[in-house]
Structure 1
Amino acid sequence: MVNNQQTQIEALLKRDRAIVLFGLVTISVLAWIYILRMAWGIRNMDMTIGMPHMHTWEAFDLVMVFVMWAVMMVAMMVPSASPIVLAFAKIYRKRRECDRLLVPTGAFLLGYLVIWTGFSFLVTLAQWGLHSAALLSPMMVSTSPILGGLLLLFAGIFQLTPLKQACLSYCRSPIGFLMSEWREGTQGAFMMGFRHGGYCVGCCWVLMLLLFVTGVMNLLWVAIIAGFVLIEKMFPFGVWVSRVAGLLLIGWGISMLLPSLS
């Protein structure tokens, strides 16, 4: 009887993993398709595709930029969040054998994405301010070497701070986070995802601002930053990669600032 029950749980775990993984992949792919389509529109200067015009922004422009950032955060962050979502689903199934899994797992992911959506709103306001000050080009790249250099310098220094390392440690230990922060129910799952999202925002928010230097819709750099975040979180050498990247960013920032200050 015990062996039969164990076999059933193992079968459920395999099924759950497949379903959750399929959902995560689907969400990521759809987000990347949206970003690719928008980048194509920018390259062809098709402003009807949802990008803001270069005149003073109207409400529609603000909404479309917010949507762009929110979808971009989904595309960049869901892949690196997949391990903890899968771990949550596995632990939930073992704790609540007969309960439906998809609703609390979806609530966990929703909580994670809600806080990144809040970040998207704030960075949209930042882009609005830079746009109003004529510090961004039509391709959404900083037109000021000083601004670009300062962003790079700040990002590099932040990579070396205890705050960055503390937030990164939570992101790198999904099981430890779940064990220490576990809450029952769908609302509890949402709050767990929200809290974990907070640590991830604390870990990665400065890296996202680098898109103002490289180009907000520069797909190569969007992919590089997303891949870097994935390496930081998932690989044993991620901590050292983070610190080396900080030093490189500091050097890049100084090299950009020196000609402007001389």
Structure 2
Amino acid sequence: LDASIGPRTLALILMWFLMAIGAMLPSAAPMIRTYCEIADTARIKGEPVVHPLVLVAGYLSVWLAASMLFAAVTLAVHAFAATGGIFDPLLGAAGGLALLVAGLYQFSGLKEACLKKCRNPFSILFSNWSARTVRVFQLGVAQGIWCLGCCWALMLVMFAVGVMNVFWMALIGVFTLIEKQTAGSLPTRLAGAILLVWAAALLVVSL
């Protein structure tokens, strides 16, 4: 095996993880703030509380695992798709298929279910409140899973625009923040429609 595969894979994992932190932590801020508010109330009552960083660690552990998967997909795409470099956008049908999956997922029931959980962290945190470190970490993991379920398909856009495209990652971060803070499905459906039109254009051009 090529000795450079290990370091390259680690670098890709770190890259995806840093991008995920930059894109997803802002939209997770309401969840973290809600936990802190509940913790402050418990502390005033004299009850023991777990530091919110434990919750954040659980949340980020999910995105670290997801980053490993995205890194593996990046390497696989680079090996089998027609790209000039590992960070280059997917061309033609491959890019169109990535956008097609991302667009269709915006209309799925799973997307809607995960988004509802992300929009209402108070009920989950309050009903599962615990003063045990392990339990709070698990709460963070649960919130991370809901967030991943909500946003994983949007990450596929990065394959169509280039996985090192900071502008698009920032744009995804802004969109997820708006999506989670806006009632209704308009932002989600609008983004899905845009992605589907974009996918159709790439697929038609590639014929």
Give the TM-score normalised by structure 1.
Answer: 0.73
Corresponding residue of 1:247: 193
Q: Distance in 1 between matches of 2:193 and 2:4?
A: 37
Range with greater deviation from structure 2 (151-160 or 132-141): 132-141
Give the distance between the partners of 1:69 and 1:59, measured in 2 at CA: 16
Paired residue secondary structure (1:96)? helix
Structure 1 residues 218 and 56 mapped into 2: Cα distance closer, same or farther (>3 Å)?
A: farther
Task: Indicate if the aligned counterparts of 2:90 and 2:162 stay in contact, CA closer than 8 A.
Answer: no
The AA in structure 1 aligned to 2:203 is L
Alignment of 1:111-122 (within 5 A): 111-122=58-69
Report the CA distance shift for 1:208/1:234 in structure 2 as closer, same or farther (over 3 A).
Answer: same
Task: Give the root-mean-square deviation of aligned CA atoms.
Answer: 1.9
Does the aligned pair in 1 maintain the 2:74–2:86 contact within 8 Å?
no
Q: Within 5 A, what are the aligned runs for 1:74-89?
A: 74-89=21-36
- Counterpart CA distance in 2 for 1:80 and 1:160 is 20
Task: Name the SS of the counterpart of 1:242 in structure 2.
Answer: helix
1:198-225: CA deviation from partner (whole Å, max 9, x where unpaired): 0000000010111010111112111111
Query: How many residue pairs are counted as aligned between the two chains?
Result: 205
Paired residues of 2:89 and 2:163 also in contact (CA < 8 A): no
Q: Distance in 1 between matches of 2:115 and 2:74?
A: 26
Contact 2:48 2:131 in 1 (8 A): no
Gaps of 5+ in 2: none
- The yes-or-no answer on 1:200 pairing with 2:147 is yes
Which structure's CA Rg is the greater one? 1
User: Which of 56, 68, 78 matches 1:131?
Assistant: 78
Instruction: Work out the CA distance in 1 between the residues paired with 2:47 and 2:83.
Output: 51
* Structure 1: stretches of 5+ with no match in the other structure: 1-54
Q: Percent of pairs identical after alignment?
A: 35
Q: Which has the higher contact order (CA 8 A, sep 6+)?
A: 2
- Structure 1: which amino acid aligns with 2:124? F
Partner of 2:206: 260
Name the CA distance, whole Å, in 2 between partners of 1:225 and 1:128: 22
With over 3 angstroms needed to count, the CA separation of the structure-2 counterparts of 1:143 and 1:208, relative to structure 1, is closer
Structure 2 counterparts to residues 1-262 of structure 1, below 5 A: 57-97=4-44, 98=46, 103-138=50-85, 140-236=87-183, 239-261=185-207
Normalization by structure 2: what TM-score? 0.92
Deviates more, 1:155-164 or 1:239-248: 239-248
Q: CA deviation at 1:137?
A: 3.1
The Cα of 1:116 is off from its aligned counterpart by 0.5
Structure 1 segments, 4+ long, off by >6 Å, are none
CA displacement, residues 165-217 of structure 1 (integer Å, 9 cap, x when unaligned): 00000001121221333333211111111001000000000101110101111
Secondary structure class of the residue paired with 2:29: helix
Query: Helix, strand or coil for the counterpart of 1:137?
Result: coil
Q: d(CA) in 2 for partners of 1:170 and 1:126?
A: 27
* CA contact 1:115–1:198 (8 Å) conserved in 2: yes
CA distance in 1, matches of 2:157, 2:179: 16
